[in-house]
Amino acid sequence: MLTRELYNESCKRALGYLQKAGIVITEEEKRNIEVAEYGLGQHEEIGLQLVVYVNTDRCCAKELILFPGQTCPEHRHPPVGNEPGKEETFRCRWGKVYLYVPGEPVENPKAILPKGREKYFTVFREIELNPGQQYTIEPNTLHWFQAGPEGAVISEFSTKSRDEYDIYTDPDINPAQSRKI
């Protein structure tokens, strides 16, 4: 469960990572940092911090901050109404991120699966993103990602973000889990 203490500590750490990445955010953006804990009580292993710059009917831009080894769990962005689902581009700004999508699985993944949740990670084509590298994920594509040993800051550029419609492989994940206290 996302407590005020966990939220405050995660925001403080996230600001330090943004500073390392040379990303300046406004005071208002600092106050609006979101912390995704997913209701699993494993925030250090499964979770992320984010700053949303814009989310309109046509586009979305965010910074995703992951602590060392922190994982955004496997999910997909399904069609909503007449729209095909969210298309998103991840661009690594600082650190290293291991992104996994469908395709030929890597023999020895660099990511370490969160203990007790291994069966909920099913795609293993590995894309390693270092600063300046990016990858685009098509709508309705299963994916998950994990920060390398130093953590990571990723800029996300996408079509409209509708997190409430995301479908997670892990049935215990609560996508509505508090993101801001």
pTM for the predicted model, two decimal places = 0.96
In the chain, where the domains are located: 4-168
Structure confidence by residue, pLDDT tens digits, 54-72: 999 999 999 999 999 999 9
Look up residue 58 and give its two tokens.
Answer: 């046509």
Distance CA 72, CA 134 (A): 17
Q: Is the dihedral of CA 18, 21, 24, 25 positive or negative?
A: negative
* CATH class of residue range 4-168: mainly beta
Model pLDDT for residues 106-149, shown as the tens digit of each residue = 999 999 999 999 999 999 999 999 999 999 999 999 999 999 99
The answer to whether 141 and 76 have CB atoms below 8 angstroms apart is yes
> Model confidence over 12-26: pLDDT tens digits?
999 999 999 999 999
